[in-house]
Amino acid sequence: MMTRLVILLLGITFINCKTHKQIAFTESTAATSTNLNATFTDLKLLEARYENRTSGIRGGATGREYFFKVLVLTSDKLTFDSAWMKNYGYDIFIAKESTVVSNSAIQFSKNDTIILRISDVSGKPIKKNSAAPIEYDGSALVRYNTRSKTSYLVVKEITERVLPNMQ
């Protein structure tokens, strides 16, 4: 009886290890595709910039807003999960340049240009000290999902846009 239990546990462990390797391999393959600055089948990165922000009142928050302008190349539904810069993780907000402000969710489809926006207010990321799920060579990593897979967009460089002084 004890021998059967040990064999059963070893079999379960082997299956779990094999499944884990498949998931890691799938993510690694997606990461390799995105190292080409996302010029492939799902997305094309058009622009990556940031703006430093300062509150207009004494003691108000300061921060940095990141904007990744992306052209959608697929008709599959895309969802954007998280972004990482250095050892910090952030939530992503989606906007469209031509859309008026609304409480409705942003709708986009193939050939639409969308803005992936990340807010880093007062230097406090939404998710602190969150290592990226894969290694990447660039300034930022964006995770997104389609119906069939998890993929990553590597942002090689983010340029600064200097805002005019309004004082």
Q: Has residue 167 been placed in a domain?
A: no
pLDDT tens for 96-128 read 876 566 777 888 999 999 999 998 887 565 666
Distance CA 47, CA 35 (A): 16
Structure tokens at 11: 């079999």
Q: Has residue 37 been placed in a domain?
A: yes
Q: Which residues pair with 113 in a beta bridge?
A: 71
Residues 45, 38: contact at Cβ < 8 Å? Answer: yes
Q: Has residue 165 been placed in a domain?
A: no
20 pLDDT above the threshold of 80: no
Neighbouring residues of 91: CB distance < 8 A, sequence distance ≥ 6 = 82, 83, 118, 126, 127
E-strand ranges in 55-99 read: 62-72, 79-85, 88-91, 93-95
Q: Has residue 128 been placed in a domain?
A: yes
Enclosing domain of residue 118? 2-160
Cα distances from 7 to residues 13, 18, 21, 111, 126, in angstroms, run 10, 17, 21, 54, 45
pLDDT tens for 29-59 read 333 333 334 445 899 999 999 999 887 788 7
Q: Has residue 31 been placed in a domain?
A: yes
What pLDDT, on the 0 to 100 scale, is given for residue 56?
78
Distance CA 120, CA 91 (A): 10
Ramachandran quadrant class, 129 (left: phi over 0; alpha: psi -120 to 50; beta: rest)? left
* Total number of domains in the chain: 1
Q: Has residue 166 been placed in a domain?
A: no
> What pTM was estimated for this model as a whole?
0.71
Average pLDDT over residues 4-27: 33
Q: What is the CA radius of gyration of the chain?
A: 20
Distance CA 153, CA 34 (A): 5
Q: Has residue 62 been placed in a domain?
A: yes
Q: Has residue 145 been placed in a domain?
A: yes
Distance CA 48, CA 74 (A): 20
85 pLDDT above the threshold of 80: yes
What pLDDT, on the 0 to 100 scale, is given for residue 166?
57
